[in-house]
Amino acid sequence: MIFVCAGFAGCTSPQSALDPAGTEAETVATLFWVMLVGAILIWLAVIGLSVFATRIRPKAYGETAGLRLIVWGGCVFPVVVLTALLVWGLQMMPPMRAEANGPTIAVSGERFWWRVAYGVEGEPGVSKTLPEGGTPSANEIWLPAGQRTELLLGSPDVIHSLWVPSIAGKMDAIPGRVNRLVVEPTKPGVYNGVCAEFCGDAHAQMALRVVVVPADEYEAYVARQGAPASVETGNAGFRAFMQNGCDACHAVRGTGAAGEVGPDLTHLASRRTIAAATLPMSRDNLAEFIGFTHRVKPGVQMPSYGMLAEEEIAAIAGWLETLQ
Amino acid sequence: MATGNKTRDTLWTLIAAPTIWAVHFALSYGSVAYGCAPNENVFADIGGFRIFVGGLTVVALVGIGFIFARALGEWRGNGGRMPHDEDTAAVRERFLEFSTVLLAGLSFIAVIYTALPVALMADCR
Ligand SMILES: [Cu+2]
């Protein structure tokens, strides 16, 4: 019993397809359990039969008995089971791809982080590039519970794949193409997502958080993300940020920093993690990421700023921490 | 060389049923992919293509059914027994007929499985 519990402890987690918190994940989990039970029954029958034929009644069985076993067990039974599974699986698919009734969010997989834009206008058909505009954010996707949100997935570099096991199956983010994934989270909570298609050095560190909240909270969150940063710009931290060229790649709306290469940092400190869920958000971790970028996360586009004085990095990290 | 009855079986008659399966597969997937290619509206019905695949499926199943029935009848007529391990033309014939029966059965099921998706899905999603 203890072993069973230990074995199943992994099932209740923010990143488990066996602990579904979305309609698509529920469908997948049901399918999994039914097939698991079916597989166990078939296994028991096969093993039982071989024990019967070799231990319980070991004797030479006639040709007709063997033929009957092949026809019924090897042809009729598999055809019936596979047909039933195929029909059952196929009729699950249309509702999974049903139209969205909630917001549209653009998610771009970029080595090795997720660019997010809330409230974009999706175009009909398959477009080549993600729509422009929307409220920018990164590495954390908020979703309204009980609504069907449309995620538009794209990429400027290589193929990535967005997978939030608790909520839905995975969908590739492919350069030159926009894929659609409609998700319907049912339980508020914080879930983990990952990049599920190998994309380079830091692929394993390309994760994200998905925060599911009631619809009104979602609206309020997006409104907050859309507002410019309310932050001091007269201090040493901000000056160091601008002097060292961080603004070439990062935007902090309302301060003049308008880079577009890396994540939008306007509300960085409101996120739970930094660098695509590589480290928890904290002043120390910010300083570590700035000073030892490639040690923390090899392969990222951002240069390591190890040459800066420790106080300067601390000042930048302190300033970044106020970007609520 | 066939002992008494109808068609002389060869490797061509053997692969006739799987060939129908292959052609049906290519035309089904090709036509629906063509119908969905512009993808302006994934929710629009593709009724015409579903009817096309349906008709194609009926034709394929009738063809495979005919091959199945012929090969089974001739195999039975030639004794309808296993094994097929003698070094004679008659046994070779019987062996080819039996293999044709099995392949036709497989192709029949495969054609149905190929067509099932458009039976259950009405649009390009
Ligand atoms: Cu990736």
Q: What are the pLDDT digits (tens) for B115-124?
A: 999 888 888 8
Does residue B61 fall inside a structural domain? Answer: yes
**Ramachandran quadrant class, A134 (left: phi over 0; alpha: psi -120 to 50; beta: rest):** left
Query: From A99, which residue of chain B is nearest by alpha-carbon distance?
Result: B43
Longest dimension (CA), chain A: 94
**CB pairs A-B closer than 8 Å:** 32
Q: What are phi and psi for residue A208, nearest 5 degrees?
A: -165, 165
Q: What pLDDT score was predicted for residue A5?
A: 44
256-315 of A, contacting B, C-beta below 8 A: none
Query: Do A97 and B39 make contact, defined as CB atoms within 8 angstroms?
Result: no
In chain A, which stretches have pLDDT less than 50?
Answer: 1-6
Give the number of C-alpha atoms closer than 13 A to the C-alpha of residue A26, restricted to the C-beta side. 10
Q: How far apart are CA A179 and CA A14, in angstroms?
A: 25
Q: What pLDDT score was predicted for residue B122?
A: 82
Centroid of chain to Cα A165: 7
Residues of chain B found within 8 Å of residue A83, distances taken between Cβ atoms: 112-113
* Interface residue A80 vs chain B (CB under 8 A): no
Does residue B4 fall inside a structural domain? Answer: no
Centroid of chain to Cα A179: 15
Residues of chain B found within 8 Å of residue A124, distances taken between Cβ atoms: 40-41
Q: How far apart are CA A123 and CA A112, in angstroms?
A: 26
Q: What are phi and psi for residue A141, nearest 5 degrees?
A: -115, 120
* Interface residue A94 vs chain B (CB under 8 A): yes
- Which among A145, A199, A138, A195 is positioned nearest to A170, based on CA atoms? A195
For an interface test with B, give the residue of A85, A96, A126 to mutate (most B CBs within 10 A).
Answer: A126
In chain B, which stretches have pLDDT less than 50?
Answer: 1-3
Does residue B5 fall inside a structural domain? Answer: no
Query: Do A124 and B109 make contact, defined as CB atoms within 8 angstroms?
Result: no
Q: How far apart are CA A223 and CA A210, in angstroms?
A: 18
Who among A79, A90, A94 is closest to B116 (CB)?
A: A90
Q: How far apart are CA B44 and CA B23, in angstroms?
A: 27
Does residue B109 fall inside a structural domain? Answer: yes
Decide: residue A147, CB within 10 A, 0-12 exposed, 13-18 middle, 19+ buried: middle
Residues of chain B found within 8 Å of residue A93, distances taken between Cβ atoms: 120-121, 125
pLDDT in tens, B89-98: 888 888 999 9
Which residues are paired to A192 by β-bridges?
A209
Q: Mind telling me how many Å the CA of B13 is from chain A's nearest CA?
A: 23
Who among B41, B43, B113 is closest to A86 (CB)?
A: B113
**Exposed e or buried b per residue across A268-297, where buried means at least 16 C-beta atoms within 10 angstroms of its C-beta:** bbebebbbbbbbebeeebbbbbbbebeebb
- CB of B97 within 8 A of CB of B71? yes
Q: Which domains does chain A have, with CATH numbers?
A: 13-96 (no CATH), 104-226 (2.60.40.420), 236-320 (2.60.40.420)
* Interface residue A83 vs chain B (CB under 8 A): yes
Q: What pLDDT score was predicted for residue A13?
A: 82
Decide: residue B11, CB within 10 A, 0-12 exposed, 13-18 middle, 19+ buried: exposed
3-state secondary structure of A137: strand
- What's the pTM? 0.86
* Interface residue A125 vs chain B (CB under 8 A): yes
Who among B38, B113, B121 is closest to A93 (CB)?
A: B121
Does residue B1 fall inside a structural domain? Answer: no
CA B16, B18, B20: angle at the middle one, nearest 5? 70
Residues of chain B found within 8 Å of residue A128, distances taken between Cβ atoms: none
Does residue B34 fall inside a structural domain? Answer: yes
**Which residues 6+ apart lie within 8 Å of A140 measured at CB?**
A116, A208, A209, A210, A211, A271, A272, A273
Does residue B49 fall inside a structural domain? Answer: yes
Q: What pLDDT score was predicted for residue A1?
A: 38
ipTM of the modeled complex: 0.84
Decide: residue B62, CB within 10 A, 0-12 exposed, 13-18 middle, 19+ buried: exposed
- Which among B100, B118, B120 is positioned nearest to B33, based on CA atoms? B118
Residue B77 domain boundaries: 10-120
User: In the numeric block, which tokens belong to residue A191?
Assistant: 């879930």
Query: Do A125 and B125 make contact, defined as CB atoms within 8 angstroms?
Result: no
3-state secondary structure of A286: helix
- CB of A300 within 8 A of CB of A293? yes
pLDDT in tens, A286-300: 999 999 999 999 999
- What is the domain count for chain B? 1
Q: What pLDDT score was predicted for residue B86?
A: 83
- CA quadruple A129, A133, A134, A139: dihedral sign: positive
Q: How far is the CA of A182 from the centre of ligand 1 (A)?
A: 20
3-state secondary structure of A206: coil
* Interface residue A9 vs chain B (CB under 8 A): no
Q: How far is the CA of B13 from the centre of ligand 1 (A)?
A: 50
Does residue B19 fall inside a structural domain? Answer: yes
Q: How far apart are CA B51 and CA B122, in angstroms?
A: 11
